[in-house]
Amino acid sequence: MSDANKNLVRRHFEEIWNQRKMAACDELMADDFFEHAAAPFAETAPGRVHGPSAMRGTAEWLLGQFPDLSMRIESIVADGDMVAVRVRSTGTNSGKLNGFLPPSGKRFTSEQSHWFRIEDEKLAEHWATRDDLSSMLQLGVVTPPRLGALLRQVRSAAPYWLRGRRAHHREQP
């Protein structure tokens, strides 16, 4: 059973994400699917969804932003109805990021961990931990703090710190 479950997860990444076979969403995803992981910038909370439709929508959304996206399985393990997989994603932002930021043309590489629960030979539940911050840094969406930013922050906070110190000194006998 564990090998069959691992193969189901392998097909998920290979067929949907790497081969762009959206028909695989109907074959691999349970109709009654529970998503625990919100997509970056998601407008809706995780929860119960129609699996094939939700997966197709997520794939089309992400592939629209990163048409050359590829996901490589680095490691996969299974125990009973659960499969855990570590994935390395790479892609170039050549579509509008989240539908409104202009394409940066920049490439990213990031890692994720995904857990799937299998029921009746279909993916029925999903959890994920993604390194979205590294992806956003690589794409230039966010920038690391610089010395100048730190100094501006300290300068703007200094009056509050000094006010607090003065109040503290006045209270002491």
Total domain count, the chain = 2
Same domain, 97 and 165: no
Give tens-digit pLDDT for 66-95.
999 999 999 999 999 999 999 999 999 999
Domain coverage including residue 173: 145-173
Contact 86, 6 (CB under 8 A): no
Supply the pTM of this predicted model.
Answer: 0.81
Same domain, 150 and 170: yes
Give tens-digit pLDDT for 89-100.
999 999 998 888
Out of 3-12, 105-114, 154-163, which region has the weakest mean confidence (pLDDT)? 154-163
Same domain, 128 and 161: no
Same domain, 48 and 13: yes
Q: What is the CA radius of gyration of the chain?
A: 22
Question: Where residue 103 sits, what CATH number does that domain have?
Answer: 3.10.450.50
Same domain, 156 and 106: no
Torsion angle, CA of 156/161/163/166, rounded to 10 degrees? -150
Tracing tokens 């993604």 back to the chain, one arrives at 130
Same domain, 160 and 124: no
Cα separation of 142 and 133, whole Å?
8
